[in-house]
Protein backbone atom coordinates (compact mmCIF):
# COMPACT_ATOMS: atom_id res chain seq x y z
CA UNK A 1 0.00 0.00 0.00
CA UNK A 2 2.81 2.35 0.94
CA UNK A 3 4.38 1.66 -2.43
CA UNK A 4 1.21 2.74 -4.24
CA UNK A 5 0.93 5.95 -2.18
CA UNK A 6 4.61 6.70 -2.83
CA UNK A 7 4.22 6.16 -6.56
CA UNK A 8 1.10 8.33 -6.65
CA UNK A 9 2.82 11.16 -4.79
CA UNK A 10 5.85 10.89 -7.05
CA UNK A 11 3.83 10.94 -10.27
CA UNK A 12 0.97 13.27 -9.34
CA UNK A 13 2.61 16.71 -9.83
CA UNK A 14 3.90 15.98 -13.33
CA UNK A 15 0.71 14.22 -14.43
CA UNK A 16 -1.41 17.11 -13.14
CA UNK A 17 0.81 19.53 -15.04
CA UNK A 18 0.43 17.49 -18.24
CA UNK A 19 -3.37 17.33 -17.72
CA UNK A 20 -3.59 21.06 -17.11
CA UNK A 21 -1.53 21.84 -20.22
CA UNK A 22 -3.52 19.39 -22.35
CA UNK A 23 -6.90 20.80 -21.31
CA UNK A 24 -5.69 24.41 -21.38
CA UNK A 25 -4.04 23.83 -24.75
CA UNK A 26 -7.22 22.34 -26.15
CA UNK A 27 -9.29 25.41 -25.26
CA UNK A 28 -6.51 27.73 -26.39
CA UNK A 29 -6.34 25.93 -29.74
CA UNK A 30 -10.11 26.20 -30.24
CA UNK A 31 -9.96 29.90 -29.39
CA UNK A 32 -7.04 30.47 -31.78
CA UNK A 33 -8.89 28.67 -34.56
CA UNK A 34 -11.95 30.84 -33.98
CA UNK A 35 -10.00 34.08 -34.48
CA UNK A 36 -7.78 32.96 -37.40
CA UNK A 37 -9.35 33.72 -40.76
CA UNK A 38 -7.11 31.75 -43.16
CA UNK A 39 -7.36 27.97 -43.49
CA UNK A 40 -3.63 27.15 -43.26
CA UNK A 41 -3.37 29.30 -40.14
CA UNK A 42 -6.20 27.35 -38.54
CA UNK A 43 -4.48 24.05 -39.30
CA UNK A 44 -1.31 25.37 -37.65
CA UNK A 45 -3.38 26.07 -34.54
CA UNK A 46 -4.63 22.45 -34.38
CA UNK A 47 -4.97 20.89 -30.94
CA UNK A 48 -2.05 18.57 -31.75
CA UNK A 49 0.37 21.33 -32.70
CA UNK A 50 -0.66 23.58 -29.80
CA UNK A 51 -0.07 20.68 -27.36
CA UNK A 52 3.39 19.88 -28.73
CA UNK A 53 4.59 23.46 -29.21
CA UNK A 54 3.14 24.52 -25.86
CA UNK A 55 4.98 21.64 -24.20
CA UNK A 56 8.22 22.53 -25.98
CA UNK A 57 8.00 26.21 -25.00
CA UNK A 58 7.40 25.38 -21.34
CA UNK A 59 9.94 22.53 -21.29
CA UNK A 60 12.68 24.69 -22.78
CA UNK A 61 11.96 28.13 -21.37
CA UNK A 62 10.53 27.51 -17.90
CA UNK A 63 12.88 25.95 -15.34
CA UNK A 64 10.52 23.23 -14.10
CA UNK A 65 11.14 21.94 -10.57
CA UNK A 66 12.29 18.33 -10.30
CA UNK A 67 9.03 17.16 -8.68
CA UNK A 68 7.39 17.29 -12.11
CA UNK A 69 9.92 15.04 -13.86
CA UNK A 70 8.51 11.61 -12.96
CA UNK A 71 4.94 12.51 -13.90
CA UNK A 72 5.99 14.12 -17.18
CA UNK A 73 7.87 10.92 -18.03
CA UNK A 74 4.63 8.97 -17.58
CA UNK A 75 3.28 10.24 -20.92
CA UNK A 76 4.44 6.97 -22.44
CA UNK A 77 1.75 5.31 -20.36
CA UNK A 78 -0.92 7.56 -21.87
CA UNK A 79 0.41 6.81 -25.33
CA UNK A 80 0.01 3.10 -24.73
CA UNK A 81 -3.47 3.44 -23.21
CA UNK A 82 -4.44 5.57 -26.22
CA UNK A 83 -3.20 2.89 -28.60
CA UNK A 84 -4.97 0.09 -26.68
CA UNK A 85 -8.24 2.08 -26.82
CA UNK A 86 -7.73 2.75 -30.52
CA UNK A 87 -8.07 -1.01 -31.05
CA UNK A 88 -11.83 -0.68 -30.51
CA UNK A 89 -12.34 1.26 -33.72
CA UNK A 90 -10.40 -0.99 -36.09
CA UNK A 91 -11.89 -4.15 -37.54
CA UNK A 92 -9.56 -7.04 -36.88
CA UNK A 93 -9.68 -8.00 -40.58
CA UNK A 94 -8.33 -4.59 -41.59
CA UNK A 95 -5.65 -4.76 -38.91
CA UNK A 96 -4.60 -8.19 -40.20
CA UNK A 97 -4.48 -7.05 -43.84
CA UNK A 98 -2.59 -3.85 -43.09
CA UNK A 99 -0.42 -5.69 -40.58
CA UNK A 100 0.54 -8.37 -43.12
CA UNK A 101 1.77 -5.89 -45.72
CA UNK A 102 3.07 -3.64 -42.95
CA UNK A 103 5.20 -6.41 -41.45
CA UNK A 104 6.74 -7.18 -44.84
CA UNK A 105 7.61 -3.50 -45.32
CA UNK A 106 8.95 -3.28 -41.78
CA UNK A 107 11.25 -6.26 -42.32
CA UNK A 108 12.65 -4.56 -45.45
CA UNK A 109 12.98 -1.26 -43.57
CA UNK A 110 14.74 -2.84 -40.60
CA UNK A 111 17.20 -4.78 -42.77
CA UNK A 112 17.92 -1.65 -44.78
CA UNK A 113 18.52 0.58 -41.77
CA UNK A 114 20.66 -1.98 -39.95
CA UNK A 115 22.83 -2.45 -43.04
CA UNK A 116 23.02 1.26 -43.79
CA UNK A 117 23.65 2.49 -40.26
CA UNK A 118 26.16 -0.33 -39.70
CA UNK A 119 28.07 0.73 -42.80
CA UNK A 120 28.05 4.40 -41.85
CA UNK A 121 29.01 3.71 -38.25
CA UNK A 122 32.07 1.82 -39.56
CA UNK A 123 32.90 4.59 -42.01
CA UNK A 124 32.90 7.15 -39.19
CA UNK A 125 34.59 4.72 -36.80
CA UNK A 126 31.87 4.89 -34.17
CA UNK A 127 32.19 2.24 -31.45
CA UNK A 128 30.49 -1.00 -32.63
CA UNK A 129 27.89 -0.99 -29.90
CA UNK A 130 26.96 2.67 -30.44
CA UNK A 131 26.48 1.82 -34.11
CA UNK A 132 24.24 -1.10 -33.15
CA UNK A 133 22.19 1.03 -30.77
CA UNK A 134 21.71 3.67 -33.47
CA UNK A 135 20.63 1.12 -36.04
CA UNK A 136 18.21 -0.50 -33.59
CA UNK A 137 16.84 2.96 -32.74
CA UNK A 138 16.47 4.02 -36.37
CA UNK A 139 15.27 0.61 -37.55
CA UNK A 140 12.68 -0.19 -34.91
CA UNK A 141 11.23 2.07 -32.36
CA UNK A 142 13.53 4.52 -30.86
CA UNK A 143 13.92 4.80 -27.17
CA UNK A 144 12.43 1.56 -25.85
CA UNK A 145 14.31 -0.49 -28.46
CA UNK A 146 17.57 1.24 -27.56
CA UNK A 147 17.05 0.64 -23.86
CA UNK A 148 16.09 -2.98 -24.54
CA UNK A 149 19.10 -3.53 -26.76
CA UNK A 150 21.63 -1.74 -24.56
CA UNK A 151 20.94 -4.19 -21.74
CA UNK A 152 21.18 -7.20 -24.00
CA UNK A 153 24.40 -6.22 -25.78
CA UNK A 154 25.93 -4.67 -22.64
CA UNK A 155 26.54 -1.23 -24.14
CA UNK A 156 28.07 1.59 -22.12
CA UNK A 157 25.66 3.94 -20.42
CA UNK A 158 27.09 6.93 -22.26
CA UNK A 159 26.58 5.27 -25.64
CA UNK A 160 22.98 4.55 -24.72
CA UNK A 161 22.48 8.19 -23.79
CA UNK A 162 24.00 9.32 -27.10
CA UNK A 163 21.82 7.00 -29.13
CA UNK A 164 18.67 8.11 -27.30
CA UNK A 165 19.55 11.79 -27.74
CA UNK A 166 20.07 11.31 -31.49
CA UNK A 167 16.76 9.49 -31.87
CA UNK A 168 14.88 12.17 -29.90
CA UNK A 169 16.46 14.96 -31.89
CA UNK A 170 15.34 13.39 -35.13
CA UNK A 171 11.92 12.70 -33.67
CA UNK A 172 11.57 16.42 -32.97
CA UNK A 173 12.79 17.28 -36.47
CA UNK A 174 10.39 14.75 -38.02
CA UNK A 175 7.40 16.55 -36.47
CA UNK A 176 8.16 19.53 -38.71
CA UNK A 177 9.93 18.05 -41.73
CA UNK A 178 7.73 15.06 -42.54
CA UNK A 179 4.37 16.88 -42.77
CA UNK A 180 6.02 19.54 -44.96
CA UNK A 181 7.40 16.87 -47.33
CA UNK A 182 4.04 15.10 -47.30
CA UNK A 183 2.19 18.30 -48.26
CA UNK A 184 4.80 19.16 -50.90
CA UNK A 185 4.33 15.74 -52.50
CA UNK A 186 0.55 15.92 -52.01
CA UNK A 187 0.60 12.52 -50.30
CA UNK A 188 -2.70 10.88 -49.37
CA UNK A 189 -3.51 10.35 -45.68
CA UNK A 190 -2.91 6.65 -46.16
CA UNK A 191 0.46 7.02 -47.89
CA UNK A 192 1.72 9.67 -45.47
CA UNK A 193 0.46 7.76 -42.45
CA UNK A 194 2.21 4.54 -43.39
CA UNK A 195 5.37 6.42 -44.29
CA UNK A 196 5.51 8.23 -40.94
CA UNK A 197 4.87 4.95 -39.13
CA UNK A 198 7.74 3.28 -40.98
CA UNK A 199 10.26 6.08 -40.85
CA UNK A 200 9.81 8.12 -37.65
CA UNK A 201 11.70 6.35 -34.90
CA UNK A 202 10.03 6.85 -31.58
CA UNK A 203 6.41 5.74 -31.16
CA UNK A 204 5.18 8.96 -29.53
CA UNK A 205 6.82 11.17 -32.18
CA UNK A 206 5.61 8.92 -34.99
CA UNK A 207 1.99 9.09 -33.79
CA UNK A 208 2.34 12.87 -33.32
CA UNK A 209 3.76 13.29 -36.83
CA UNK A 210 0.83 11.36 -38.29
CA UNK A 211 -1.59 13.41 -36.18
CA UNK A 212 -0.12 16.71 -37.38
CA UNK A 213 -0.80 15.62 -40.97
CA UNK A 214 -4.38 14.51 -40.33
CA UNK A 215 -6.50 12.37 -38.05
CA UNK A 216 -6.86 9.73 -40.78
CA UNK A 217 -3.09 9.64 -41.32
CA UNK A 218 -2.55 9.07 -37.60
CA UNK A 219 -4.50 5.80 -37.72
CA UNK A 220 -2.22 4.42 -40.46
CA UNK A 221 0.87 5.71 -38.70
CA UNK A 222 -0.06 3.95 -35.47
CA UNK A 223 -0.69 0.61 -37.18
CA UNK A 224 2.53 0.74 -39.20
CA UNK A 225 4.46 1.69 -36.08
CA UNK A 226 2.95 -1.19 -34.10
CA UNK A 227 4.27 -3.60 -36.74
CA UNK A 228 7.75 -2.23 -36.10
CA UNK A 229 7.36 -2.42 -32.33
CA UNK A 230 6.17 -6.02 -32.57
CA UNK A 231 9.41 -7.04 -34.27
CA UNK A 232 11.63 -5.38 -31.68
CA UNK A 233 12.39 -8.60 -29.79
CA UNK A 234 13.62 -10.47 -32.85
CA UNK A 235 16.09 -7.76 -33.85
CA UNK A 236 17.42 -7.32 -30.31
CA UNK A 237 17.78 -11.10 -29.97
CA UNK A 238 19.72 -11.19 -33.24
CA UNK A 239 22.16 -8.52 -32.06
CA UNK A 240 22.47 -10.06 -28.59
CA UNK A 241 23.40 -13.42 -30.14
CA UNK A 242 25.87 -11.76 -32.50
CA UNK A 243 27.69 -9.96 -29.66
CA UNK A 244 27.56 -13.09 -27.50
CA UNK A 245 29.21 -15.08 -30.27
CA UNK A 246 32.06 -12.58 -30.37
CA UNK A 247 32.37 -12.80 -26.59
CA UNK A 248 31.22 -9.20 -26.09
CA UNK A 249 27.98 -10.01 -24.22
CA UNK A 250 26.32 -12.81 -22.29
CA UNK A 251 24.70 -15.74 -24.12
CA UNK A 252 20.93 -15.69 -24.38
CA UNK A 253 19.85 -19.03 -22.94
CA UNK A 254 16.06 -19.05 -23.20
CA UNK A 255 15.24 -17.47 -26.53
CA UNK A 256 11.47 -17.90 -26.36
CA UNK A 257 11.33 -16.20 -22.99
CA UNK A 258 13.63 -13.45 -24.26
CA UNK A 259 11.29 -12.75 -27.20
CA UNK A 260 8.25 -12.68 -24.91
CA UNK A 261 9.95 -10.29 -22.50
CA UNK A 262 10.84 -7.89 -25.30
CA UNK A 263 7.41 -8.06 -26.93
CA UNK A 264 5.47 -4.81 -26.40
CA UNK A 265 2.47 -6.12 -24.46
CA UNK A 266 0.24 -3.13 -25.12
CA UNK A 267 0.01 -4.40 -28.71
CA UNK A 268 -1.90 -7.38 -27.25
CA UNK A 269 -4.36 -4.98 -25.60
CA UNK A 270 -4.84 -3.21 -28.94
CA UNK A 271 -5.45 -6.52 -30.74
CA UNK A 272 -7.73 -7.75 -27.93
CA UNK A 273 -10.05 -4.72 -28.10
CA UNK A 274 -10.02 -4.85 -31.88
CA UNK A 275 -11.04 -8.54 -31.74
CA UNK A 276 -13.74 -7.89 -29.13
CA UNK A 277 -15.40 -5.01 -30.97
CA UNK A 278 -15.05 -6.71 -34.37
CA UNK A 279 -16.80 -9.79 -32.93
CA UNK A 280 -19.56 -7.68 -31.34
CA UNK A 281 -20.16 -5.80 -34.60
CA UNK A 282 -20.30 -9.12 -36.47
CA UNK A 283 -22.85 -10.51 -33.98
CA UNK A 284 -25.00 -7.35 -34.22
CA UNK A 285 -24.69 -6.26 -37.86
CA UNK A 286 -27.76 -3.97 -37.69
CA UNK A 287 -30.49 -2.63 -35.42
CA UNK A 288 -30.40 -0.84 -32.10
CA UNK A 289 -27.62 -3.02 -30.62
CA UNK A 290 -25.45 -2.11 -33.60
CA UNK A 291 -26.04 1.62 -33.27
CA UNK A 292 -25.43 1.34 -29.52
CA UNK A 293 -22.05 -0.26 -30.26
CA UNK A 294 -21.21 2.47 -32.75
CA UNK A 295 -21.89 5.18 -30.16
CA UNK A 296 -19.75 3.31 -27.61
CA UNK A 297 -16.89 3.02 -30.08
CA UNK A 298 -17.23 6.76 -30.65
CA UNK A 299 -17.00 7.36 -26.89
CA UNK A 300 -13.88 5.21 -26.63
CA UNK A 301 -12.36 7.14 -29.52
CA UNK A 302 -12.79 10.28 -27.41
CA UNK A 303 -10.90 8.71 -24.53
CA UNK A 304 -8.13 7.66 -26.87
CA UNK A 305 -7.96 11.20 -28.33
CA UNK A 306 -7.42 12.61 -24.86
CA UNK A 307 -4.78 10.01 -24.07
CA UNK A 308 -2.94 11.12 -27.22
CA UNK A 309 -3.40 14.78 -26.30
CA UNK A 310 -1.64 14.08 -22.97
CA UNK A 311 1.08 12.22 -24.88
CA UNK A 312 1.69 15.15 -27.21
CA UNK A 313 2.10 17.56 -24.29
CA UNK A 314 4.58 15.09 -22.77
CA UNK A 315 6.51 14.83 -26.05
CA UNK A 316 6.78 18.62 -26.14
CA UNK A 317 7.88 18.89 -22.51
CA UNK A 318 10.47 16.15 -22.96
CA UNK A 319 12.01 17.70 -26.09
CA UNK A 320 14.67 19.79 -24.42
CA UNK A 321 17.07 21.06 -27.04
CA UNK A 322 19.77 21.84 -24.53
CA UNK A 323 20.32 18.14 -23.80
CA UNK A 324 20.32 17.24 -27.47
CA UNK A 325 23.12 19.49 -28.62
CA UNK A 326 25.48 17.65 -26.28
CA UNK A 327 25.31 14.58 -28.47
CA UNK A 328 28.52 15.21 -30.38
CA UNK A 329 29.00 15.56 -34.10
CA UNK A 330 29.83 12.04 -35.30
CA UNK A 331 26.77 10.15 -34.04
CA UNK A 332 24.75 13.08 -35.35
CA UNK A 333 26.22 12.83 -38.85
CA UNK A 334 25.55 9.08 -38.90
CA UNK A 335 22.05 9.82 -37.60
CA UNK A 336 21.32 12.42 -40.31
CA UNK A 337 22.57 10.11 -43.05
CA UNK A 338 20.64 7.14 -41.68
CA UNK A 339 17.39 9.04 -41.18
CA UNK A 340 17.55 10.54 -44.65
CA UNK A 341 18.31 7.17 -46.24
CA UNK A 342 15.53 5.41 -44.33
CA UNK A 343 13.08 8.19 -45.21
CA UNK A 344 13.85 7.88 -48.92
CA UNK A 345 13.80 4.07 -48.85
CA UNK A 346 10.48 3.89 -47.00
CA UNK A 347 8.76 6.58 -49.08
CA UNK A 348 9.70 4.55 -52.16
CA UNK A 349 8.16 1.42 -50.64
CA UNK A 350 5.04 3.31 -49.62
CA UNK A 351 4.44 4.63 -53.13
CA UNK A 352 4.78 1.08 -54.46
CA UNK A 353 2.27 -0.57 -52.12
CA UNK A 354 -0.21 2.12 -50.99
CA UNK A 355 -2.89 0.91 -53.40
CA UNK A 356 -2.68 -2.58 -51.91
CA UNK A 357 -3.39 -1.36 -48.38
CA UNK A 358 -6.95 -1.48 -46.99
CA UNK A 359 -8.67 1.83 -46.28
CA UNK A 360 -9.43 2.11 -42.57
Interface contacts to other proteins, rule CB under 8 A? 3-4, 76-77, 80-81, 83-85, 87-88, 264-266, 268-269, 272-273, 276, 292, 296, 299-300, 303
What are the φ/ψ torsions at residue 51 (nearest 5 degrees)? -65, -45
Label residue 154 left, alpha or beta by phi (over 0 means left) and psi (-120 to 50 means alpha): left
Compute the least distance from the CB of residue 56 to other proteins, in Å: 24
Question: Based on CB atoms, which residue is closest to other proteins, 8 or 245?
Answer: 8
How deeply is 153 buried, as exposed, middle or buried, from its count of CB atoms within 10 A (0-12, 13-18, 19+)?
buried
Residues 196 and 344 sit within 8 Å (Cβ to Cβ):
no
Cα 98-102-105 angle, rounded to 5 deg: 150
309 HSE (CA, 13 A, CB side): 20
The whole-angstrom separation of Cα 198 and Cα 222 is: 10
Contact 229, 140 (CB under 8 A): yes
Closer by beta carbon to other proteins, 241 or else 293: 293
Provide the minimum distance between the beta carbon of 299 and other proteins in the complex, in angstroms, as a whole number. Answer: 5
Distance CA 60, CA 137 (A): 24
Smallest distance from other proteins to CB 103, Å: 20
Which residue number, 28 or 284, has a Cβ lying nearer to other proteins? 284
Decide whether 249 or 300 has the Cβ nearer to other proteins: 300
CA distance 212 to 175: 8
Q: How far is the CB of 216 from other proteins (least distance, A)?
A: 22
CA distances 235 to 147, 244, 289, Å, are: 13, 14, 44
Work out how close the CB of 265 gets to other proteins at its nearest, in angstroms, rounded to a whole number. Answer: 4
Nearer to other proteins by C-beta: 81 or 145? 81
**Least spacing, CB of residue 197 vs other proteins, in Å:** 19
Nearer to other proteins, 127 or 269 (CB): 269
Q: CB–CB of 146/176 below 8 Å?
A: no
Q: Minimum CB separation from other proteins for residue 266, in Å? A: 4
Least separation in angstroms between CB 72 and other proteins: 15
Please, which residue, 54 or 142, has the CB nearer to other proteins? 142
How distant is the alpha carbon of residue 174 from its chain centre? 11
| Of residues 304 and 327, the one with the C-beta less far from other proteins | 304
Please state the length of the chain.
Answer: 360
How far does Cα 261 stand from its chain's mean position?
A: 19
Amino acid sequence: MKRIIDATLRLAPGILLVFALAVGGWFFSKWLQSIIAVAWGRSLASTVIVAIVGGMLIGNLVPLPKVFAAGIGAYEFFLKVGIVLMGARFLLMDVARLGGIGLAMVVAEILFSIAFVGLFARLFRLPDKLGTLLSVGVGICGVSAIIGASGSIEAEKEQTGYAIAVILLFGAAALVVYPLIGRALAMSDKAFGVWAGLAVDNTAEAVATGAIYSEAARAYTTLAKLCRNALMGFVILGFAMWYAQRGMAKQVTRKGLFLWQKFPKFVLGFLGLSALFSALLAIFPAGSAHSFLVTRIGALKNYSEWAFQLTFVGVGLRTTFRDMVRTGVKPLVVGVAAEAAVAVFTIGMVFLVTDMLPTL
